[in-house]
Structure 1
């Protein structure tokens, strides 16, 4: 074997090893995008409603839609923008109010449930639009915020069991989770 053939063989071997390492690196992590979380929440949000009362007035709270933004401005949070309706019932009449809440929370991976939850919700902004009034009605906003908080404590925004079959290894090992702009990334947990 001459020197040129040996060097070509070495170059091919190095390229194959590099390609194999990059393939292994991509298999060693799994990403869940904002769109993936959006699909999961869209399935759940239709059942998100609650009967409540404000100063003795019955109110029905319903979340109609929720938008998801993972890692906004490279922060380790998940932003949720919820469009809700608060329907007040007074003297046999109903008065619907549109409520828009912009909240953020910290994603938390529960290894026993193999699921991601959102904790420590913070209200960024709120708007209530009712019968010509547009602004903030703290009692209505706080009721909707309470509904979202309770929902997110009980309901995961993503379950690892939903991964494609090529990533089934995720369900059988300890994982670490990080938040990057637009996605949550799962990796095998390192033994320190």
Structure 2
């Protein structure tokens, strides 16, 4: 019993040291990861037979704008519907806002509860009243973005040891202007 108390104290001190480590992810890093992840997601969707494709030409990501705990995302690209032996493309520019969420199983940060701030869709084949199509395109883009991580945690690249890896299952996410700060949980 007398050996058990020092062992518990050592374990608690070792684990509390994990929480002092933090890792920040910049807007630029998230933009790069998001663009690459959307490309990979689109390729896998097309391979699975999906008639829809999404290609991002630009992304602009702002973390914690106006001191709020959100990520604002402006994306521009092309959505194409492959149906009836034809390709129906539409140029899309959307401004969205969502809450970052850390998924401990995936060790990745996703955007949840995306809301549309602004949209522009340009497709010459669409009729003048495109509100129903706009809603469909916005839902498609939002659903895609909710399923693609804006950042994936890589404990090897972060230099985390076994204690931090263990604690990474419970990472806390702090939103600061221009970056997300990840800290191993308690």
1:157-176 CA-partner distances (Å, limit 9, x unpaired): 21212662423454320321
Q: Which of 176, 179, 183 in structure 2 is aligned with 1:183?
A: 179
Greater strand percent: which structure?
1
What secondary structure, in the 3-state scheme, does the structure 1 residue paired with 2:159 have? Answer: helix
Does the 8 A contact of 1:127 with 1:136 survive in 2? no
**Quick one: distance in 1 between partners of 2:84 and 2:110?**
40
Counterpart in 1 of 2:14?
Answer: none
Equivalences for 1:5-24 in 2 at 5 Å? none
Assess, with a 3 A threshold, how the Cα gap between structure 1 residues 97 and 111 changes in structure 2: closer, same or farther.
Answer: closer
Counterpart in 1 of 2:55?
Answer: 63
The structure with higher relative contact order (CA 8 Å, sep 6+) is 2
Counterpart in 2 of 1:78?
Answer: 71
Assess, with a 3 A threshold, how the Cα gap between structure 1 residues 163 and 112 changes in structure 2: closer, same or farther.
Answer: same
The alignment's TM-score, normalised by the length of structure 1, stands at 0.66
5+ unaligned residues in a row in structure 1: which ranges? 1-23, 52-58
The alignment's TM-score, normalised by the length of structure 2, stands at 0.68
**Aligned-residue offset at 1:177:** 0.7
5+ unaligned residues in a row in structure 2: which ranges? 1-16
| Greater C-alpha radius of gyration | 1
Assess, with a 3 A threshold, how the Cα gap between structure 1 residues 155 and 61 changes in structure 2: closer, same or farther.
Answer: closer
Counterpart in 1 of 2:154?
Answer: 161
Counterpart in 2 of 1:172?
Answer: 166
CA RMSD of aligned residues (A): 3.4
Equivalences for 1:114-129 in 2 at 5 Å? 114-129=107-122
**Quick one: distance in 2 between partners of 1:152 and 1:170?**
28
Counterpart in 2 of 1:37?
Answer: 30
Counterpart in 2 of 1:17?
Answer: none
Residues matched between the structures, number: 159
